[in-house]
Amino acid sequence: MSSTPLLYGLCAVALFAIGLLGAFLHSGLLTRLLAVNVSGSGVLLLFVVLAYQGAGQRPDPVPHALVLTGLVVAVSATALALMLGRWLQRPEQEPEPETEQDQE
């Protein structure tokens, strides 16, 4: 049974790497955001694997608490990214005179 956590661990690393590659190689916001989330799942899965302390043993609660926090952060960040994405979709507003930003 000791190979099961190893398998999960390898899956976690693979997910993390896939997500990282996706986020760096693609340019669309949604694709990159999904890639970041895939990568995040990999890291969180890694924490879940670390909590495993052998068959019949009680899992370590600390990584679980960390995963919960990590999930909250991931949800908030995803929501913020989607909102910014919607800002990009809308037509450009009239810039205010005193905070005019030039396009570089």
Partner 1 sequence: MTNLLVWPVLLSLAAALGTLIAPSNAARIATVAAALSLWSVLLLLSAVIAEGPQWLILGGWPQGLGIALHADPLSALFLLMSAAVCLAATIFARRYVEHSRYRSQFWPLWLLLQTAIYALLLAADLFNIYVTLELLGLSAVTLSALGGSRAAVQAAVNYLILGLLGSLLFLAGIALIYGRYASLDLQLLARVVEPGPSLWVAMALMTAGLVLKSALFPLHFWLPAVHANAPAPVSAVLSALVVKVAFYLIMRLWLDLFNPAVMSTAADLFGVFGALAIVWGSWQAMFTARLKLLAAYSSIAQLGYLFLFLSLVLVMPEGEDRQLLLGALVLFALSHGFAKSALFLAAGTVQQYAGHDRIAELRGVAGQLPLTFFSLGLAGVALIGLPPSGSFLAKWQLLSTTLLAGQWYWVAVVVVGSLMACVYMFRVLSVAFGEEGVATQRIHSRREELPTLALAVTATLILGLGGVWVWRVLDVGAAGGLG
Interacting residue ranges for partner 1, rule: CB under 8 A:
16, 19-20, 23-24, 29, 32-33, 36, 39-40, 42-43, 46-47, 50, 60, 62-63, 66, 69-70, 73, 76-77, 80-81, 84-85, 87-88, 92-93, 95-104
Closest contact distance (angstroms) between CB of 80 and partner 1 is 6
Reduced to 3 states (helix: H, G, I; strand: E, B; else coil), residue 42 is: helix
How near is the Cβ of 53 to partner 1 at its closest, in Å?
Answer: 10
Rounded CA gap, 82 and 80, in Å?
5
- As measured in angstroms, the least distance from the Cβ of 56 to partner 1 is 19
Rg (C-alpha) for the chain, rounded Å, is 19
Residues 14 and 43: their CA atoms lie apart, in Å, by 10
Distance CA 65, CA 97 (A): 48
* Cβ neighbour number for residue 102 with a 10 Å cutoff: 5
Least Cβ distance, residue 2 to partner 1 (angstroms): 15
Q: Which is nearer to partner 1, 10 or 60 (CB)?
A: 60
